[in-house]
A = this chain, B = another copy of it.
Amino acid sequence: MRFSIIAKVLGVLLMLFSLTLVPPTLVSLWYHDKSHLSFLMAFFITLITGLVLWFPTFNIKQELRTRDGFLVTALFWAVLALFGALPFIFSAASSLSITDAVFEALSGLTTTGATVIVGLDYLPQSILYYRQQLQWLGGIGIIVIAVAILPMLGIGGMQLYRAETPGPVKDNKLTPRITETAKALFVIYLTLTVTCALAYWAAGMSLFDAIGHAYATVAIGGFSTHDASIGFFNSEAIYIIAIIFMILSGINFALHFTVWRDRSIKSYWRDPECRFYLTMILLGLSITIGYLYYTNTYNLSSSFLVGSFELVSILTTTGFGVADFTVWPTFLPYLIFMFAFMGGCASSAGGGMKMIRIMLIFKQGIREINRLIHPNAIIPIKVGSKTVSDRVVEAVWGFFAVYVICYVAMMLILLGTGLDVTTAFTAVGACINNLGPGLGDVAANYSSVNTPAKWVLCFAMLLGRLEVFTLLVLFSPMFWRR
């Protein structure tokens, strides 16, 4: 590890992040909500720390190498969460403990959307705006990293995408890839956000709420400016806009780029992962809507609207709510919750294991069965016309297994801190899948969860966002050798 180059990158990152504290300061001044000093303090602390890290290293000309990508990616979320927590700590209005502030900031940046705050409707606008903006920044952050860095690191089979990314590819240096790719992706991300915000505004939200919810929608974040989430607006039009933009935001942004470049909307259906994603949504919708209507939980039109909203919100791991799906009959809450393990497509801001991996697990499972019947046959696994290498197959299997094992370990620790089974099981699931709401005591918010459990859940959010392996690699002694 070359710490000076990593210090330089972190320094630049913090200086850039400090700039993102300017908009909430302006919001505070605009609304006279008396929180501008909190943001200014956080701004200076972040900027100065960034300068201190950057200054001794500014004339270092080393390039980041592939392997440094693990550390930079992990530090991106860990360090930004610490500095991002500052305004929550300084603000008298939110007055969060350090634990709560870090939890809230990390939940925002990882686009998890789990909140420890009750009484959102009474918070200063600047704090509300800042939470939404954290998600938006976290969203573009993970998309750029997923498209530009993860395929090169080969995390959990993501080397599949190595050849497909926009921008120069064959290079082993990270920086040019990131800047080129980031530009293209940011334009798409911004376009989606602006369109979504205009749609919300047109449908009746205030401009403030429209921008805030567009941030959280496109980032698959799920933070809201109201305790009642999107349900606050009680508007069919807004629900439908949210459903459409959640589905769009769950699609691979490299695929959005292809569609935009080729001006061909058919590419969505031609892409195997996107086709699988849309199929899973249709499957989930049929079961949810059908079962809601069959059990007389809602009338037909409400079953459609509310069922679609909740299913899409959980499956894409957005986590917005318009109704309390946790009280729906028998298996439905857990089934819907299980869809969050699928999550969005790779290279979106969605959480979960990602559709591509679930699709490969299905295909690989069927191959294992067919191999038993024909032990000597060579049965390739294909994604589209591409044959998947054994290395990818093993990486995907391994990803699934390590995901499940980490899940169980964290759940046992949460039980040890005194949480009940439903809460422990779903809190870990909601955090590792970057979903947000769970069942039991964490159906609405995480305010009742004890402090040690909150730190475990912070780890879960980070683990999920970093595709498990980026974080686990850092615990391997082999990583730190040489």
Question: Does B473 contact A398, Cβ atoms closer than 8 Å?
Answer: no
Selected from B415, B418, B476, the residue in CB contact (under 8 A) with A334 is B415
**26 A-B residue pairs with CB within 8 Å:** A330-B418, A331-B412, A331-B416, A334-B412, A334-B421, A338-B408, A338-B412, A361-B401, A365-B401, A368-B399, A368-B402, A369-B472, A369-B473, A369-B476, A369-B478, A370-B478, A373-B473, A373-B476, A373-B479, A390-B390, A390-B394, A394-B394, A397-B397, A397-B398, A397-B401, A400-B401
| Copies of the protein in its oligomer | 2
Contact partner of A153 among B372, B395, B413, CB < 8 A? Answer: B372
Is the CB–CB distance between A365 and B398 below 8 Å? yes
**Across chains A and B, which 6 residue pairs bring their CB atoms closest together, nearest first?**
A397-B397, A331-B415, A368-B398, A331-B416, A331-B412, A330-B416
For the complex, is A375 an interface residue (Cβ under 8 Å from B)?
yes
CB contacts (< 8 Å) of A400 on chain B: these are 397, 400-401, 404
Inter-chain CA distance A371–B368, complex, in Å, is: 23
Query: For residues 356 through 370 of chain A, which have their beta carbon under 8 Å from a beta carbon of chain B?
Result: 361, 364-366, 368-370
Residues in B with CB closer than 8 Å to A412 are 331, 334-335, 338
In the bound complex, residues from chain B placing their C-beta under 8 Å from that of A338 are 408, 412
How far apart are the CA atoms of A373 and B472 in the complex, in Å?
A: 11
How far does the Cβ of A158 sit from chain B's closest Cβ, in whole Å? 11
Q: Which residue in B413, B421, B469 is a CB contact (below 8 Å) of A422?
A: B421
Taken residue by residue from 364 to 396, chain A's Cβ proximity to chain B (1 for < 8 Å, 0 otherwise) reads as 111011111111000000000000001001110
Q: Are A402 and B365 in contact (CB under 8 A)?
A: yes
Is A78's beta carbon under 8 Å from chain B? Answer: no
Chain A residues numbered 437-482 whose CB sits less than 8 Å from any CB in chain B = 469, 472-473, 476, 478-479
List chain A positions with a Cβ less than 8 A from chain B: 67, 70, 153-155, 330-331, 334-335, 338, 361, 364-366, 368-375, 390, 393-395, 397-402, 404-405, 408, 411-413, 415-418, 421-422, 425, 469, 472-473, 476, 478-479
State how many angstroms separate the Cβ of A329 from the closest Cβ of chain B: 9
Which chain B positions have C-beta within 8 A of A413?
331
Distance in Å: Cβ of A309 to nearest Cβ of chain B:
21
Apart from A330-B415, A373-B478, A394-B394, 17 more pairs, CB < 8 Å: A153-B372, A330-B418, A334-B412, A334-B421, A361-B405, A364-B394, A364-B398, A364-B401, A368-B395, A368-B399, A368-B469, A369-B469, A373-B479, A390-B394, A397-B400, A400-B400, A421-B422
Instruction: Please determine whether A394 and B395 come into contact, CB atoms closer than 8 angstroms.
Output: no
A393 to B: closest C-beta gap in Å: 6
A374 to B154, CA, bound (A): 11
Within the complex, what minimum Cβ distance (angstroms) separates A478 from chain B?
5
Closest to A480 in B: B373
Which of B372, B402, B417, B421 lies in contact with A155, CB distance below 8 A? B372
Nearest Cβ distance between residue A358 and chain B, in whole angstroms?
Answer: 10
Interface centre among A361, A370, A394, A401 (most CB of B within 10 A): A401
User: A315 to chain B: closest CB distance in Å?
Assistant: 15
Q: How far is the CA of A37 from the CA of B345 in the complex (A)?
A: 64
Please determine whether B330 and A370 come into contact, CB atoms closer than 8 angstroms: no
Q: How far, in whole Å, are A155 and B369 apart by their CA atoms in the complex? A: 9
Which residues on B sit within 8 Å (CB–CB) of A368? Answer: 394-395, 398-399, 402, 469
Closest B residue, CB atoms, query A157: B368
- Chain B neighbourhood of A330, CB < 8 A: 415-418
* Interchain CB contact (< 8 A) of A372 among B366, B369, B469: B469
Q: How far is the CB of A69 from chain B (nearest CB, A)?
A: 10
Report how far A333 CA is from B277 CA in the complex, Å: 38
Contact indicator A154/B408 (Cβ below 8 Å)? no
Q: Once bound together, how far apart are the Cα atoms of A425 and B421, in whole Å?
A: 10
Tell me the minimal C-beta distance from A103 to chain B in angstroms.
Answer: 22
Docked pose: A369 CA to B479 CA in angstroms: 9
Q: In chain B, what residue has the closest Cβ to A291?
A: B416
A404: B residues at CB distance < 8 A: 400, 404
Nearest B residue to A426 via CB reads: B421
Given contacts A412-B335, A415-B331, is CB(A405)–CB(B476) below 8 Å? Answer: no
Bound together, the chains give a CA A85 to CA B417 distance in angstroms of 45
Task: Name A404's closest neighbour in chain B (CB-CB).
Answer: B404
A398 to B400, CA, bound (A): 10
Question: Which residues of the partner chain B approach A70 to less than 8 Å between Cβ atoms?
Answer: 372
